[in-house]
Each structure stands twice: as structure tokens, then as C-alpha cells.
Structure 1
């Protein structure tokens, strides 16, 4: 095995996010783990599993609000464990593991586009759509609808404390999509003229979704007012958690501690979230 002791999984992970603004946290985690295996080159299956487990724990402990990241780590670990029994000789296994890991990442990246293609049928002409915060996959879906010449308008919550709603609005305006930013407390005021609500997800737990703070209130208001509430997300964000309330999330979710950031990357890493249960 190569004697490389200075590989830093956290720095690698952050570098992937910095280099590709459209990369999600789960994909960045998987990319980092594949890079680690390519460099470290473990010589036995036991060494491989221990190495992956150690780096996953290190990555999870070094990143705040790591639920989305954890989904990618856990998915990759299942991928490793499943593949250990396929190949008889270690050389073939180690080579194919890295290659299949890279292929896995490529397929996961395309899932956003596939989600947009699937969700296009939910958007109709003259729709007024309420969107909460910024979501890459929701943004992709709206761009896809625009490309199909569907005419619609988007209302976007400002999404305090991060203000990511303004970022979403700017991205939609660049695509010439009619949109308007509203204050978070105005959701109940405008909901009567909304046709449907679209939100993304930082993670999908057993029993609900984990997303930007305020999603739960919007979900409750949508249900009371009989407005369709759709979650648009990729399958690699599914996490093995069963929280009953936001207090059960494995993270520091004290909103009073948040210091607003102007840097988009920092916003992503200090993302305060809601647990929104579903039926």
C-alpha cells in the first residue's frame, strides 16, 4: 500500500464543493471517498472497510449539519460492502471498486436531470408556484419547464436566516423566469393564489424530509389550504434516520447561533434545517 499519510478527507470534500458549485454534499462525499481509495490503495478487504469507515467518521465529525453528507457516505459504504462478495481476487476487486465508484458518481450527478424530466408533468401553463429557499434540483425542474415553453410564475421565500431565496430568484431571473421574492411570514398571505408548492431536501428520513428552516410551516399551511406540496430530490439523499421532531436530528440546530454568511459555500455548510413529517 502507498505510504501516503497526509490525505485529508475533509479538505478533499471541501475542494470538490468549491470547484463545482452545482455539486451536492452527498456526491462530494462519495467523490472524496473514491479519491481516497485511489490514493490509499488498501491491500485487503478488511483494510478497505476499516479505511472507508474511519474516513466516513472523520468527515461526518468535521462538517456541521452533516445529514445530507451522511446520506452519501452511508450509500457508498453499502456499495463497498455489497461489492466485496462479487470478486474472487483482490486485484480485480480493488480495480473495479474504484471504477464502479466513479461510474456511480456519474450516474448520481445525472439524477438531477432525471428528476427534472420526471417532474415536468407536474407544472402546467399559468401555474403560480411557491418555492422555499434555493434547491438545485428544483431550479433544474423550473429550467426544464421553461425550456418546454410552459408559462408560469414563481414566488420565492427570502428564506431567512441564510437569504438563499434571493440567490434562487437571481438564478431564475437569469433564465428569464418570472419570479418574486416574498418575506417568509407572507406565505399565508399569498397561499390563496398559489397552485402548488415545490421544495428540495437536504435529506429524506423515514417519516419526513429535512430541509431549510421554515419548510415545516409551509407544509402545514399547504395542507390546511389544500395546496399540493411536492418534494423534489434525488434518491442519494435518503438517510437512515427516524426522527420524531427537529430535536431528534443529530446536529446543532440552535438558530440563534447562526451568523449570516455572504459566501455561498459557507451558507451551504451552515444550513439550518427543519424536519417536515409526512403522512
Structure 2
């Protein structure tokens, strides 16, 4: 997605990180932007620094990248760097500790996709037929690593309208030699009986264990459930969000629409939402850097992250 034209310097820096590295996730770019702010900050008190970081988060959310991913990653990063006691004699000592924690956090996040790929690998057998939706960098990396190990499988990819992001997935799979077929979104029901399982990514994992993801994920998951096909989600734990939606109307508007759309004060009834909410009952397992989780375990993990 293109960045908003009204970006602040922090928003521009955040957008440039994503434009320069197509493999970088929105969540990781958000953390790196906050870390850059931390390293350059001229704040003299913890309150000043906190206000500065909050303004950076607002700037990132004013771009047209995933607000869900920005929110989750930013909250967890700020929580992590201030987790232990900061009862130090000087603010300089405090800043040093915060920067050290920030560096450790980024290093941990950088290893997330490799861990997820390792957890997913035993589930993908030779001749597996996999259905995926839209464009997920973590799913692509996992599939690439499994294919590189010698396992042969076929991937079916939905077009994922209205932005045809599934076409990008097919291009990527073609480039690394994984057999794949691009299908119409409306062909999911026809194809579902012949596939083995569904792999999708997530823009955010809710406290319920459900996910916010590209529009169409819910319909795909309902169809899979009806035909007894498991739906597996691949996602980094930095996408865990302290939100508890019960239905589509509970999804915050900043998650559903681009920032530029909200700024234009359009009649949202005339706008297609970019994402939908897939409740936990349609998800079999989540492959995360914390391990393989059931949807019910997400709430417990969030409690641990925010203790």
C-alpha cells in the first residue's frame, strides 16, 4: 500500500523502510522506527520520551499500511522496553537500558519467521495441496523453506480482490519454483474439497484467538470448516493485539479502512473494508514464534506478554 501524502518525518521513515525492503513486515518496520526514535531522542524525562514515542505511533498509523500491525507491534515494543524496573539514578542510565532492551527485542523479532517455518514444516507432506489467501510474507517464507528442504507440494492462491494481492503471491511462488495455481475468489467452495488444508497469515491476532486479515479470509475459513479442512494461521507474536471483537461491527474503523480513506471523511457505507474478522472457532492452530498455539491459548500468551 502507498503511504499517505501527509506523513510526518517518522511516517516517511517508516514507509521508506517498507519500500526499500519488500520482505520486511509492517510490524517489524514499526518497531525499527520506534527504535530509531529512541536512539535519536533528545528527551530529558521518561514522560517526554513516552509522549515522543506515542506521536511516532500516531504518525505510522496515519500511513496506509496496516494499522493493526502497527498497533500490536508498537504496544508490545513499548511494553517490553519498560517491562523491568527503571529505578535508576539518572535519565541517561535509563535511556541506555531502554536502548539495550530495544535492540534485544528487534533481534528476537528478526528470528520469528524462521521459528514459524520450523514449526510448520512437519505439517506439510509430499504432494500436499495447500490453499492460501492474499499475500503473507511469513507464509511465503515458510513455504519457501519447506520446499527448499525437498518437500514437494502444490499451492492454490486466491486472486484476493480488490487489490489482486494473490497475484503477487503467485509471482513469488513462481520465482522460487513452487508449483501454484491462481484461482478466482469465488472458486474457493469448488476447490475446497480437494485441498488438504489452508494456510493464511494475519494482520493481527485478537485476544479471542481470532484474526484480523485480508477481506475474504472469513468466507474461506467458514467454507473450510464446513468441509472439515483445517485452517492454520502463520503469524509473529508481535501481531497479538489486546482487542476483543465479537463480530465484524466490533472491528475498529482504523483497522478496516486506509488512513487516507478515513481522512477524506467518505461515507464508509460506500467503502469496502480491507479486512474481516475470523473468529477462533474457524481456526485449528496458530504457528507462532512462541510455539504452536490453539486459539484459546492466545489470551494466556497476551497476559504473559503484558504482565
Q: TM-score range by the shorter chain?
A: 0.7 to 0.9
Contact 2:41 2:49 in 1 (8 A): no
Partner of 1:132: 133
How many angstroms apart in 2 are the aligned matches of 1:254 and 1:92? 41
Contact 2:77 2:105 in 1 (8 A): no
How many angstroms apart in 1 are the aligned matches of 2:11 and 2:153? 41
How many angstroms apart in 2 are the aligned matches of 1:244 and 1:142? 31
Closer, same or farther in 2 for the Cα pair 1:164/1:86, shift >3 Å? Answer: farther
Which blocks of at least 5 consecutive residues in structure 1 are unaligned?
1-6, 259-269
Pairing of 1:106-145 with structure 2 (within 5 A): 106-145=107-146
Closer, same or farther in 2 for the Cα pair 1:73/1:230, shift >3 Å? Answer: same
Contact 1:65 1:272 in 2 (8 A): no
Contact 1:64 1:251 in 2 (8 A): no
Contact 2:10 2:56 in 1 (8 A): yes
Partner of 1:154: 155
Q: Select between 88-97 and 29-38 the one with higher mean Cα deviation.
A: 88-97
Q: Select between 16-25 and 192-201 the one with higher mean Cα deviation.
A: 16-25
Which blocks of at least 5 consecutive residues in structure 2 are unaligned?
1-7, 262-271, 282-307
Which of the numbers 225, 228, 240 marks the counterpart of 1:226? 228
TM-score (norm 1): 0.87
Name the count of aligned residue pairs: 261
Provide Cα deviations, 1:69-104, integer angstroms capped at 9, x if missing partner. Answer: 111111122123324526444222212312321231
Pairing of 1:22-171 with structure 2 (within 5 A): 22-63=23-64, 65-83=66-84, 85=86, 87-171=88-172
The list of structure 1 runs, each at least 4 consecutive aligned residues, that deviate by more than 6 angstroms after superposition, is none
How many angstroms apart in 2 are the aligned matches of 1:54 and 1:77? 13
TM-score (norm 2): 0.79
Partner of 1:211: 213
Contact 2:201 2:234 in 1 (8 A): yes
Matched, 1:273 2:275: yes
Partner of 2:248: 246
User: Please, what is the CA RMSD of the aligned residues?
Assistant: 2.2
Matched, 1:182 2:191: no
Partner of 1:3: none
Contact 1:83 1:97 in 2 (8 A): no
